[in-house]
Structure formats: structure tokens, C-alpha cells
Amino acid sequence: MTGPLQLLNTAEELHELPRAGRRAVVMTMGALHEGHATLIRTAREEVGPDGQVVVTVFVNPLQFGANEDLDRYPRTLDADLAVSEGAGADAVFAPSVDEVYPGGDPQVRITAGPMGERLEGATRPGHFDGMLTVVAKLLHLTRPDLALFGQKDAQQLALIRRMVTDLNFPVEVVGVATVREDDGLALSSRNRYLGPVERRTALALSRALFAGRDRLAAQAALCARAEAAPASDGRATALARLGEIRASADAHAVSAAAGGVTGLPDAVRAAARHVLEEAGRHEPPLVLDYLALVDPEDFTDVGPDFTGRAVLAVAAKVGATRLIDNIPLEFGAHA
């Protein structure tokens, strides 16, 4: 579908929007950046030139706690319209709070369940109930064939997928990889709150995740070597007697790697935590909320013998700004 971008403010206007091909929705709280633009461009690719892309812009009060930044959350509708149109959207639905919740706070809400009480849910009680409630309402209002969400909010994405499955929503949920700035910081509408010094501290979030990823990659390489050419402790000890300290250390490492992934999740956590602890001594300091290595199906911590897909997630405050980030990891991928 082509033509000028349409701005819609009411459910009636949205319902009168003619459908064209498959419809994709990208839900946002505004303050759009390149991460959102990537979601919109991906939506356009998914539905093709004959399809329709709808962007929602709504700062949902239900998912903000009493001491969170609802009042100061950036609202930049004119700029959001420009980003949406430039990325290929056909319409932007930007309703008021009264339009979405005409009777005030809804008495009936979606409950996130046990997964919604972990990590972000433990830090922000009720957050995921409010998020799922508005996502459910917007899915009903926009009636899309597919809905796209960023993987940066990994727990949110997992819960939306769970809700769609459990409640039989007729929509395909598509996750889109996190977009990062050149220095590695994950794009977020809250990044604009960071001054130059705070931003330097905030970079510890992505550096910690990358340190965990690198630790996993290094161990996977050692496991592959151990499987291809097993090394023994006897050879390592012999090398040490000959003064070949570096070769001996390498042989010991390969020999230890023959044990496979046992204990590797803890090593990944430790590598990431080391970076975060250093950042806690910066000025301003990074104040860690959580660092977790979890199963993406239910966001429970993975054990020492875990194999398969996992998510390494972190949340922390720098000054008054709270940031989250995560990366996907694969344990046992060398096998």
C-alpha cells in the first residue's frame, strides 16, 4: 500500500482504515529511533508493497509504577510521524489515554503469570500486566496479521508470544534483533536522558553481555579442540616440567574442556559480572539491578549443565536512568 501517511486518533478512524493485503502492526510508546525504524522497515518487508503497516504510538500508563518516569517519558509525535513515514508505514494510530481506556483504568486486565514476576516483573510489579493489557487491546483494535516487537525487550516478547498462544490471538508475532549504536549501546528512547559521562558508564551493559558471549565462544572453541584431539593432564604436566608454561596452560585448558559445558553458564555469568562490578566503581556508578542467564521459554535461571538457547540479560541504573539489554546465546553449539 502506498500513499501519504495517515494519522489516526480514534478507534473509529482505525476501523474505517481500508485493509490492503496483509496488515502488520508495530507497537511503540513513541520517541521513535532507528530501532523502531528497523521494526517498521521489517514490517514493510514482511507484508510487501501491497500490504499495510500500522504504527501505534501510545504511552501506556498501566505499565509505569508510582515512582517511574511516566511524566517525563519523551513525547515527540511530529518526529515520530516523520520516522514512521520514512521507514514505510501507511498509518500511525496515536490515541489519547481516554480513547484507549474510556472508563478509566480497566477493571479487567491480562495477568502475566509466573514469568511476569521474574526479572523485570520482580523489579517493576504489575508492569507486565499493564503491558499485556494494552497489547491485547491494540491487537483487537488494529486486527493485524502479524505484530513485530524488538528482541531488546526479550521478556516482553516472550510474554506476548505466551499470551498470543494461550489466548488464541490470530496473529503471528515476529521478533526483530536489537539495534545498537556504533559504541554498542542498545538503542532506547531513554538513552536521551544520558549525559556524556553517564553514557560512558552505561556502555558497561553491552560490554558485560559481550564479555559473557566471548567467554562462551572461547569455551566452545576449546571443547571443539578437545573433541578433535583430546589432551591429557599428563601431557600438560610434562610440558610444565620442560618450562613450556604457556603450552602447558593451553593443554590443561583443552583437557578441562573435554568435560563439555558443565559449569559454563556460571563462567558466562562471571565474565559479565566482572565488567559490571568494575562499572560500579565509575563516576557516576552503574547500579546493578540484575544480571541473569535464563531460558527464553520461561525466564528461569539455567543450570550448570544447560544446553540450548539462553538469554543473558542485564538491567541497571546510571544516574536516574534505568536501562536494560540482553543477547541470545547458544550452549552446546560446538557439538
Residues designated catalytic: 36
Looking at the chain, list the stretches that DSSP marks H as alpha helix, in order from N- to C-terminal side. Answer: 11-15, 34-47, 77-87, 97-100, 120-123, 127-142, 154-166, 196-202, 204-228, 233-241, 245-257, 264-279
Instruction: Please state, in angstroms and rounded to a whole number, the distance separating the CA atoms of residues 273 and 267.
Output: 10
Closest CA to 90 of 26, 178, 175, 12: 26
Per-residue DSSP letter, 21:
S
Instruction: Please state, in angstroms and rounded to a whole number, the distance separating the CA atoms of residues 222 and 308.
Output: 18
CB 203 within 8 A of CB 186: no
Task: State whether residue 37 is helix, strand or coil.
Answer: helix
Say how many CA atoms lie within 13 Å of 207 toward its Cβ: 14
| Residue 327: CB atoms within 10 Å | 22
Strands 6-8 and 91-93: parallel
Strands 172-176 and 146-150: parallel
Task: State whether residue 166 is helix, strand or coil.
Answer: helix
Instruction: Please state, in angstroms and rounded to a whole number, the distance separating the CA atoms of residues 122 and 290.
Output: 10
DSSP codes, 186-252? BP-GGGGG--HHHHHHHTHHHHHHHHHHHHHHHHHHHHHHHHHS---HHHHHHHHHTT-HHHHHHHH
